[in-house]
Amino acid sequence: MSDLLYANMFRRLVSKTGGVEAACATVSALLGHEISKGTISRIQNGFAAVPMIYVYALEDATGDYRFTKLRVKEVEDRVAAKEGPSITRLAGEVGKEAGEAVNALILAAETGDPKAMAEARVEVEEMLHAGETALSTIEKLKA
């Protein structure tokens, strides 16, 4: 996944935590030392890598486990790649991601909320990733 996608996902976690100051307090509590607002700002704007320990703290605080779910999906994809392609599994994944993207797009269209727009972008990225994986697998099976 792209660094920009990770930055957008992190920005969503920061927002759900209550903003930059709340995110700093949450991460600092886990680490046992202060982190600056500038650090959180750089990360959420894509100017620094997203430290997973920060993600874990914010996911636990918000109950939004988007990074963890993405990581699980990436690992499952690697395992599935070793086991061989499954058109049925890919169809299910594309359908799931497409449904989530449609729901997020409708919410964004109805509300016009920037947070909903960012969420829709993440969901569409995930849908596109699932579609690209399916296309790649189909091409491999045709050969």
The CA distance from 68 to 74, in Å, is: 10
Q: Return the pLDDT at 45.
A: 93
Q: Return the pLDDT at 110.
A: 96
Which fold is adopted by the domain 3-62? 434 Repressor (Amino-terminal Domain) (1.10.260)
Residues of the chain with pLDDT under 50: none
CB-count exposure of residue 27 (10 Å: 0-12, 13-18, 19+): buried
Whether 65 contacts 59, CB under 8 Å? yes
Q: Return the pLDDT at 78.
A: 85
Q: Return the pLDDT at 85.
A: 67
Among 12, 128, 22, CA closest to 66: 12
The domain spans of the chain are 3-62, 85-142
* Residues near 65 by beta carbon (within 8 Å), at least 6 away in sequence: 59
Q: Return the pLDDT at 15.
A: 96
Q: Return the pLDDT at 1.
A: 54
